[in-house]
Amino acid sequence: MVTALCHSLQDNLVLTQRASLDVLIFCCPLSNLPVLYTDACMLLEAALQCLLRRDMSLNRRLYSWLLGMDQSKQSSVSSLESTETPTYFENHSKQLLVESLQHMLDTQTEKMPRLHYTSIIEELFPLRILVSLLDKSEVGPVVIESVLLQVFRLLEAAVNRIKSTFQQPHDNEKKNSLIGEVCKTANLLLGVFEPGYIWKFLSKILFSNYPGCKEKQGGSSLSESCRF
């Protein structure tokens, strides 16, 4: 059932995707999952790809599932809630979303060395999903720092794949063109942050790798942090 629902969430027809998201909202609430946690991650990964359609009806259903309420009610409710009170998203959706995004980014990073160069830009689709999530203030900004390290790893893998494909001097024009496309895709995401945000994030990673620091940032090594 889970596999079938994942396929229907990625169907070419918007109507099929809408119906599939409705099934998630009514039959698979994140506050009371009727499936295994790993299966819920699979469903969320598939559902997130609906954002690539840029269809408001799909986006509304996805956020209703993640936030556990009708979007029309959310603004009035959120204004009355205390900022110290955990929201539905924080209690039931945040960790699932973080793990789903991390898995999606890691999967694409692992695929990069095997991809044909013509598929590289297309396979950076998780970055476009993150751009869409950042448009939703209750969702994207809450999880972005938890997946930013995986974003850098994916971008590095894409650039390395291009460089390994075009090693001859006469390939420089094609290589630079593709790297430019990767930079454009990266800028769609990184361009939404304040100028100092990325540097602050990288500084946190660097300091976390010093001896005696108890908090490690996503398993990043010092050499990896310096490359970024």
Q: What is the pLDDT of residues 80-116, one digit of tens each?
A: 454 567 899 999 999 999 999 999 999 999 999 999 9
CB 219 within 8 A of CB 213: no
Task: Give tens-digit pLDDT for 172-198.
Answer: 999 999 999 999 999 999 998 887 898
The shares of helix, strand and coil residues in the chain, as percent rounded to the nearest 5, are: 75, 0, 25
Helix spans in 53-171 (H): 56-67, 71-80, 88, 94-111, 125-134, 140-165
Per mean pLDDT, which range of 22-31, 35-44, 152-161, 214-223 is the poorest?
214-223
CB 138 within 8 A of CB 89: yes
| pTM of the predicted model as reported, rounded to 2 decimal places | 0.88
Q: Where are the domains of the chain?
A: 1-73, 89-193
- Cα–Cα distance for residue pair 124/153, rounded to 1 Å: 12
On average, the pLDDT of the chain sits at: 88
Query: Cα-flanking dihedrals φ and ψ of residue 14, to 5°?
Result: -60, -35
Percent of the chain with pLDDT over 90: 71
Q: Is the pLDDT of residue 76 over 50?
A: no
CB 134 within 8 A of CB 59: no
Query: Cα-flanking dihedrals φ and ψ of residue 34, to 5°?
Result: -90, 5
